[in-house]
């Protein structure tokens, strides 16, 4: 069984009188894709925000490689090796893929030029091309603005950016939403390659066939609490639907 890299234990989160999480638990393992599913309002987004530092839980514990951690911001989570691919991608459409890969982590030129704020664009492009090749990301050009690329290519760049900087965990929020069939396959292939690098991938998705095609494990949330866990290879679509609707409740480890 793979090593547990990130774990939530009995997390609660209150917004005034509203309880978004009511004792949620979760595990992400090295070299596996763990799907986090649930109906709208189940608490998926809140749980991910707590685990990635965007929100702080009201109570409960977060463990990274077995050690309790407290992320007071997404920057703190990134420093610990945790990256997030948001549904809106958070890319700069006017910049090229290399500039997006190094967004916020730009490489300055050496010497006085770097001190004057000039960037080493050639080195950034060289490293970006190498990273894209490692993940099998195919782009029509690395020198055009990312806004001119297809939806699948933009999504692949966003995934590659997170993978380039993540050493432990990558959260992917609906990474194939609004993509065509061929584009979805491209992104799912990239996700598998990320997993094969030993990184824990957390996939948040409403697309159940997609979940079953790529997930090694599935965890189900309902009303702010985990209600079921499945091994991906042994799971049927009806099992996931039953767990999401409350027809099946099981909290056995897999």
Using CA atoms, how far apart are residues 220 and 250, in angstroms rounded to an integer?
10
- For residues 199 and 166, the answer to whether their CB atoms sit within 8 Å is yes
- In which residue are the tokens 């393992």 written? 29
Contact predicate 198/220, CB 8 Å: no
Q: What region does 229 belong to: left with phi over 0, alpha with psi -120 to 50, or beta? A: beta
> For residue 254, what pLDDT is reported?
44
What percent of the chain stands above pLDDT 90?
56
Looking at the whole model, is its pTM more than 0.75? yes
Mean pLDDT value of segment 67-77: 95
pLDDT greater at residue 142 or residue 31: 31
- 116 token code pair: 């004057």
Residue-level pLDDT at 188: 86
Nearest 5°: CA angle at 127, between 114 and 157? 110
CA 42, 44, 46, 50 dihedral sign is positive
Q: pLDDT tens across 89-112, in order?
A: 677 889 999 998 998 889 999 999
**Averaged pLDDT for residues 10-34:** 96
CA distance linking residue 33 with residue 175, whole number of Å: 13
The pLDDT value given to residue 253: 40
Residue 12: Cβ-neighbour burial (10 angstroms; 0-12, 13-18, 19+): middle
Q: Output 248 or 246, whichever has higher pLDDT.
A: 246
Measured between alpha carbons, how far is residue 230 from residues 1, 159, 202 in Å? 14, 25, 14
CA–CA distance, 68 with 61 (Å, rounded to integer) = 7
- Band (pLDDT 50/70/90 cuts) for residue 30 is very high
User: 6 with 189: CB under 8 angstroms?
Assistant: no
pLDDT, tens digit, 9 for 90 and up, residues 160-219: 888 788 889 999 988 887 677 877 887 888 889 889 989 999 999 988 988 999 999 999
In this predicted model, what pLDDT tens digit does every residue of 231-245 receive, in sequence order?
877 788 999 999 998
User: Looking at the domain 4-92+167-245, which fold is it?
Assistant: Rossmann fold (3.40.50)
List the strands of the sheet with 169-173, edge to edge.
82-85, 169-173, 200-204, 33-37, 217-222, 225-231
- With cut-offs at 50, 70 and 90, classify the pLDDT of residue 88: low
Residues, the chain: 254
Report the chain's mean pLDDT, rounded to a whole number: 88
Q: Where are the domains of the chain?
A: 4-92+167-245
Task: Write phi, then psi, for 147 (nearest 5 degrees).
Answer: -65, -20
């Amino acid at each position: 069984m793979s090593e547990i890299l990130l774990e939530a234990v009995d997390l609660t989160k209150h917004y005034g009188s509203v309880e978004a999480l009511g004792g949620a638990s979760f595990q992400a393992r090295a070299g596996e894709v763990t799907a986090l599913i649930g109906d709208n309002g189940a608490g998926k987004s809140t749980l991910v925000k707590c685990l990635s530092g965007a929100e702080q839980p009201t109570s409960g514990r977060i463990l990274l490689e077995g050690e309790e951690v407290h992320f007071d911001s997404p920057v703190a989570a990134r420093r610990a090796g945790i990256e997030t691919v948001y549904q809106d991608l958070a890319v700069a459409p006017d910049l090229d893929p290399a500039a997006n890969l190094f967004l916020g982590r730009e490489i300055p030129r050496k010497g006085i030029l770097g001190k004057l704020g000039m960037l080493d664009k050639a080195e950034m492009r060289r490293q970006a091309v190498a990273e894209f090749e490692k993940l099998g990301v195919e782009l029509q050009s690395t020198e055009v603005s990312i806004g001119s690329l297809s939806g699948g290519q933009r999504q692949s760049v966003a995934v590659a950016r997170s993978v380039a900087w993540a050493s432990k965990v990558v959260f992917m929020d609906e990474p194939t939403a609004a993509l065509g069939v061929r584009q979805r396959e491209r992104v799912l292939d990239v996700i598998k390659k990320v997993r094969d690098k030993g990184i824990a991938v957390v996939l948040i998705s409403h697309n159940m066939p997609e979940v079953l095609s790529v997930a090694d494990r599935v965890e189900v949330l309902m009303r702010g609490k985990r209600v079921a866990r499945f091994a991906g290879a042994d799971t049927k679509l009806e099992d996931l639907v039953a767990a999401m609707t409350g027809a099946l409740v099981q909290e056995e480890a897999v």
